[in-house]
Amino acid sequence: MEQPTNTTDVKGLKQIVPEVTWAQRSSTTEPEKNHIYMTIVVPDVDKKNLKLDLQPQSLEFTGYSESKKATYHVKMDLFAEIDPAESKINHSTRWIELVMQKKDLNEEYWPRLLKDKQKVHYLKTNFDKWVDEDEQDAVPEDDDYMSRMGGMGAPFRV
């Protein structure tokens, strides 16, 4: 995996904006099918060295990697509200996976993930999870992905 090149020096510490991938589903009738899939790529960030603040309109992540001797940090203002209490989080040695429940039940997809229309270099579409709006009912739910999220409801602050 390519390492992000966007670093800043904060008091001698390297700070990196991590790669973030995302996809979404929408439903007017089933809240569990109305969500955002998000992965924050942060290798070797131990759970004890991370802070994830998931709010209705924003997400902020900070984590320290011992092997990279770097701090990862990203703050995102979301396009619309999510329900942190119904969202799920899974931490691994390579990334943080989230399934964030959208607050409003709409058939239409969000036009973008972030509130601001400006493109950001660290944000990419997760084409492994993405389906077009008109095809989402034909695609089975990713049960394996969701099973890894079991019992990890938000709010999640570490």
Is it the case that residue 40 has pLDDT exceeding 70? yes
Output the six-digit token pair for 106. Answer: 């709409």
Q: Where are the domains of the chain?
A: 7-133
Please report which confidence band the pLDDT of residue 153 belongs to, taking 50, 70 and 90 as the band edges. Answer: very low
Q: What is the Cα–Cα distance from 158 to 60, expressed in whole angstroms?
A: 11
Residue 143 CB coordination number (10 Å): 8
Return the pLDDT at 155. Answer: 43
What kind of architecture, by CATH, is found in domain 7-133?
Sandwich (2.60)
Exposed / middle / buried, residue 5 (Cβ in 10 Å: 0-12, 13-18, 19+)? exposed
- Residues 73-115 pLDDT 10s: 999 999 999 999 999 999 998 999 999 999 999 889 999 999 9
- Residues 109-135 pLDDT 10s: 999 999 999 999 999 999 988 877 666
This prediction's pTM: 0.78
What is 68-102 written as a DSSP string? TTEEEEEEEEBSS-EEEEEEEEEE-SSEEEEEEEE
